Structure 1
């Protein structure tokens, strides 16, 4: 694990959707981590029902209260946002920080937002030989803002909550991106809802599990003073009425039960994918061990060429070289159902053969 100053050849603005949009053909999407087959019919109907109120300005009070209740927090500790990406922009613009540090490899929008706001960003790079796992002592003591994902995109590593909490200290804001935590059975290692960690800011997204990337809805959990700062940086009515309806529905008992079942299916499907990938170990394919998210990170020979061959066979996977700390040897693959996984593994075998 090492620290690295700002400056990079990595394309921080590249995201998985570009892997699909850049090709006019119909590709099986293994590049985007949104759960397939979503949003469910009941959620689509609920969102559609909110359309009758579009003439009125959005009123987020009910959705905010629902999110607060879901995590056992007062509403003053909740801010609704247009996806987690907006939250990163608000944090970068509203917080007065001198030395922000982003723990990589991880989702690149936090660093991009900080740079756009004029900050110089230091990096802590987690190492492959350590399994991309966090050593809290590697984060510079002088850092007054630390950003980390859990489980981390793209490594799928789930860091112990105790290790992340060790990063907290007086005068430091600790931002934990839990966009994929609801895909972990039992939401193990969650910090959402904790009020005993100083400076803690937790981000959640409802776009991944519920297939709402096009609607843009997420939220921030933090101390009331931080929420007030972020609120003042937001434009008026930042979250639409349909998105508010979705937020309220997705934190209700029915949705939480469905999400828990989906997380168990993801774990089963991920196990099948990892077992199949293990059959290619003698050909240089290696998956990062201990994956806990709805995606896996692979290192393999000639990854860029294999990615193009997979496209020719109808499968889009996420290139890994745009993530700081990774290079052209890496690909990220979303977890899908058994049939899709088996078809992908067959295509991967042929792509490794060069055909």
Structure 2
């Protein structure tokens, strides 16, 4: 579908079909869906439209939501999780009228139970849930994408599972008035014709079934990686659910890079430090090669 869309590039893009496909996928009204140029644009639009008195971002998580709020002139407070990095609703101030949280969270790979997220919803508060990695979990049991509740905004991305980071496609799910406000703030024709075609293709029953199969294989590959990491004595954040794991290992990132393995540094995420890294889940052969390189690195590290 994306290749076919190239023939339509002379015309301005129309998102009607893609928007309807997303709405059907989640059992929402079409007026409850806004297509965006990736999740990043959605955060910028929210920062421009919302007028919170007390904005709270739950960390560690993707830093773009806080950056977008700060760039729009909002003062942001942080709720920083620790330990198993599970969300305790009591940590969120009662008078916070905007709360942003990832689920599953980047970079911790922790999935917060839907009952915990629901407990954060209350009159006068907007809850924004970043579900960019929700389709990593078979059946998406903790997703709120199909839930219609006052003040709830869900952001989804199609660039992760489908490897479309360069195409820039995501969407926002919320009540119709909120979507209308966001649409007013969005530039005209923000989503390209190929990206719209990709969105439509990713909503088909065939694509949904393929994503489910991928998520089940991901769980197997993730368990394999986690088992190998723990056998080396690495501390892995418990019960990871996304396409990566978060690991506490000092002084290994740069040596691994020299051996041909790039892992994400953790010290740029509030609540983590330089001892933390995020490792992508790959097939067992790739994981074996990484684990071998990691074992060599750990055995030669001066800190061990």
The TM-score normalised by the length of structure 2 is 0.98
Where does residue 34 of structure 1 map in the other structure? none
Where does residue 231 of structure 2 map in the other structure? 279
CA distance in 2, matches of 1:251, 1:172: 30
CA distance in 1, matches of 2:176, 2:28: 11
**Out of 273, 289, 296, which is 2:245 matched to?**
296
1:37-59 deviations in whole A, cap 9, x for unaligned? xxxxxxxxx21110000000000
- Give the number of aligned pairs: 301
Asked if the contact 1:92/1:113 (under 8 Å) is kept, the reply is yes
Asked if the contact 2:37/2:169 (under 8 Å) is kept, the reply is yes
Structure 2 stretches lacking a partner, 5+ long = none
Where does residue 56 of structure 2 map in the other structure? 101
Secondary structure, in 3 states, of the residue corresponding to 2:155? Answer: strand
Secondary structure, in 3 states, of the residue corresponding to 2:139? Answer: helix
1:271-302 deviations in whole A, cap 9, x for unaligned? 00011011111xxx200011111100001233
CA distance in 2, matches of 1:157, 1:200: 20
**Out of 223, 230, 235, which is 2:175 matched to?**
223
Where does residue 148 of structure 1 map in the other structure? 101
How far is the alpha carbon of 1:96 from its aligned partner?
1.5
Where does residue 209 of structure 2 map in the other structure? 257
CA distance in 2, matches of 1:211, 1:331: 22
Where does residue 138 of structure 1 map in the other structure? 91
Structure 1 stretches lacking a partner, 5+ long = 1-45
Where does residue 163 of structure 2 map in the other structure? 211
1:307 aligns with 2:262: no
**Out of 62, 65, 85, which is 1:110 matched to?**
65
Where does residue 11 of structure 1 map in the other structure? none
1:50 aligns with 2:5: yes
Secondary structure, in 3 states, of the residue corresponding to 2:94? Answer: coil
Query: Counterparts of 1:1-355 in structure 2 under 5 Å?
Result: 46-128=1-83, 131-195=84-148, 197-281=149-233, 285-302=234-251, 306-354=252-300
How far is the alpha carbon of 1:321 from its aligned partner?
0.3
Asked if the contact 1:103/1:148 (under 8 Å) is kept, the reply is yes
Asked if the contact 2:263/2:279 (under 8 Å) is kept, the reply is yes
